[in-house]
Structure 1
């Protein structure tokens, strides 16, 4: 594949879901034309290092470092697997009990590399990639691999909360077995893919190439940008989200979501696991005309 530099315009935005540190990370590597979003998975076991960094933050930053490297020989899939090995080493050094899969740190991501005639991508978990074509049609390139498991958890939480007589602490206690079971499905045939230090990631990582023919824009989005519509049965939900981001801009769209979330503090109208999640988006626009160039 040709590595000739492709003319494009890239927008990006990331914001933490509250006062805590942002466990999302951006991949912005124009040297290798690699772009995308990374979402550090919130740890089920509380951990902070001497700098106050969480396991999810560390995992996301390890991967971002690999993918943002100015290395002409960068291999997208191998960079992910290298970060995965380094994550495993970091957890071992910190004495994380790796025999319990659910205690592992992790990150999910949606990243692309732009070539002259094709687009390479890697993806895990619930970060998403969308392709917009010159005829304005939208292609949902990836699948939200954890939506089904999230919905199970949310439905169980609602059932327990509405049963009456259970404190928030008791609800959380009774939810723990289901949450552990879902985390234990990582990188298995019954689950989803996630970078959590397991060698099995290589077997479940989504990786491929598509043609660049007639591609107008690429959108890489972390789940915090679509939690409010994640479980909607509207067949046009993704088209509406992309349209709105284009119409009002990604920063205003992100702020608008945060405002809606703040008006639903109990997460009842829009069922979700936390009041507000980290939000990240990268938009790659090929509609750039150089002097004397042709579309």
Structure 2
């Protein structure tokens, strides 16, 4: 600090005045003091507890006493390859992929209309419609869908009024995806997942489509490209980062959710339910921690691929 600046801005008296002067003259010190509390919270509370949980996955359960053996081993990870546990992983990943693909298919035309045609109050209405489901309670939405999909629910009533009850019964008779009713089937679980996570796919896709210049679509048409060719070679590649950005949310949230499968669906477990059950009821914390590693590893690879596609630019 030069003598001239001291003359223009004289120091203030008192402890707080001196401290304020020090921070004003040392912006890096002020930045350090501002960032230290949240970084300590993130590092100690969040990452610390996460690493403590992951460390448990390298321990094992004594088969006779049921107590944790604090000896480093990969035995618990080998248990993930058992048919019952592997079935949980495959079921969860399959559901996450199906929900992500369905959300992308449903979200794209909605986002395209909002980006290309909605103006003024209609665009405001679009944002309101996309965001409104996020303002209500998560549990309220899930239990509402439980009632909608039940045998006495409104969806079955609509099928009955349209004389389509045999179609619904034929669908529920299909192995794996069917069940006694939609509320206790994988189809019902899928529908609720898509409804709850759909806004997370619509908004990034719409943001990506907003960035596509109208001139590029017109140039494709002027060069003789059909609407299908324009969509495939121009629009979709440019919108892909936004779709991938949305898929990060839909895929990861489906991968770790345990409440929706617990309320709407069959008795077969998903990864989130397995973690909850082994940590709480069964008391097998090492196996619960090993199950926790699975979505972390999957999402690590997924985020790496998404970054290569430029998806983070559309977040």
Q: TM-score, normalised by structure 1?
A: 0.22
Q: Which has the larger radius of gyration?
A: 2
Q: TM-score, normalised by structure 2?
A: 0.21
Greater RCO (Cα-Cα under 8 Å, separation 6 or more): 1
